[in-house]
């Protein structure tokens, strides 16, 4: 089945606004103490799960670098990178998430810009506007990835880098309730998976809650091959187990790539 009446941008904007109100783990802003430590050079940011990014993937000195935190609202990565001296723009689909970034910036005297929009459309920015695109796990909330990678390539300067985190699509094989409630890995879904293709609106409301964000699995061809097709050269790769669910002992739930726009 396919619910063609669903607008994933509008639906997920409302969902993430609610998550931000409820204090979802990705909507808990960094503390003033963390920001101050970042100003002193003691900092880390996460791209997948709770694993700090390898600092060699980021500029040795971020001062003055133009960084786009893509689909990365929530008052977490953007403020920390701004505290290092980078010129940060946080782009996100949720006004509530962006509001948390602005709150931290006001609280701690950070220069940080926020822009609302769909990660597949970065027309708010000109070509070659950024040195770094920092894109933590979030592209599961859009049904197609090719526009994301094309836009990332366009807005990066030659020699610029894309840091992207994403889910292992195999995680979508498993029954959600069995995994979360009983710690059981029961294969029930064919891949690629999407909430709107697998369940009706009524079924989604019963299974996940009426206000839950819509999710879409993406093949590694779309994730990694899509970056290559956009023109990127991959120079780094890592993986990590899920930070909280029962799949952690069995498979890597997160992948991350470092890609360069050729100069």
- Residue 208's pLDDT is 92
For residues 163 and 139, the answer to whether their CB atoms sit within 8 Å is no
Average pLDDT value for the chain: 96
Q: Which residue has the tokens 């709107």?
A: 196
Beta strand 130-135 with 66-70 is parallel
- Residue 1's pLDDT is 45
Q: Which tens digit of pLDDT belongs to each residue from 66-110?
A: 999 999 999 999 999 999 999 999 999 999 999 999 999 999 999
Q: How far apart are CA 93 and CA 115, in angstroms?
A: 9
From the first residue on, what is the mean pLDDT of each consecutive set of 10 residues in the chain (263 residues)?
76 98 97 98 96 96 98 98 98 98 98 98 98 98 98 98 98 92 94 95 92 97 98 98 91 97 95
Q: How far apart are CA 68 and CA 134, in angstroms?
A: 6
Name the burial class of residue 117, with classes exposed (0-12), middle (13-18) and buried (19+) by CB atoms within 10 angstroms of its CB.
middle
Q: Which tens digit of pLDDT belongs to each residue from 158-170?
A: 999 999 999 999 9
- Residue 116's pLDDT is 98
Question: Following DSSP, what letter does each residue of 84-119 receive, concatenated?
Answer: TT-EEEEEES-HHHHHHHHHHHHHHT--EEEEE--T
Q: What is the pTM of this model?
A: 0.96
């Amino acid at each position: 089945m396919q619910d063609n009446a669903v607008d994933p941008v509008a639906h997920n904007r409302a969902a993430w606004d609610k998550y931000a109100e409820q204090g979802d783990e990705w909507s808990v802003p960094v503390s003033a103490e963390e920001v101050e430590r970042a100003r002193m050079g003691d900092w880390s940011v996460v791209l997948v799960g709770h694993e700090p990014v390898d600092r060699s993937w980021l500029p040795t000195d971020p001062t003055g670098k133009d960084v786009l935190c893509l689909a990365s609202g929530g008052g977490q990565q953007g403020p920390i990178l701004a505290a290092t001296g980078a010129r940060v723009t946080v782009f996100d689909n949720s006004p509530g998430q962006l509001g948390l970034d602005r709150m931290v910036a006001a609280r701690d005297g950070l220069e940080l810009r926020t822009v609302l929009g769909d990660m597949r459309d970065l027309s708010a920015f000109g070509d070659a506007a950024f040195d770094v695109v920092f894109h933590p796990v979030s592209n599961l909330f859009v049904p197609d990835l090719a526009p994301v990678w094309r836009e990332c390539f366009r807005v990066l300067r030659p020699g610029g880098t894309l840091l992207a985190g994403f889910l292992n699509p195999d995680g979508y094989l498993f029954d959600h309730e069995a995994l979360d409630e009983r710690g059981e890995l029961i294969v029930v879904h064919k891949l690629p998976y999407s909430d709107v293709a697998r369940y009706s609106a009524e079924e989604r409301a019963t299974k996940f809650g009426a206000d839950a964000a819509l999710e879409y699995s993406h093949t590694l061809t779309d994730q990694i091959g899509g970056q290559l097709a956009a023109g990127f050269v991959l120079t780094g790769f890592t993986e990590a187990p899920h930070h909280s669910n029962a799949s952690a002992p069995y498979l890597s739930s997160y992948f991350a790539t470092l890609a360069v726009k050729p100069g």
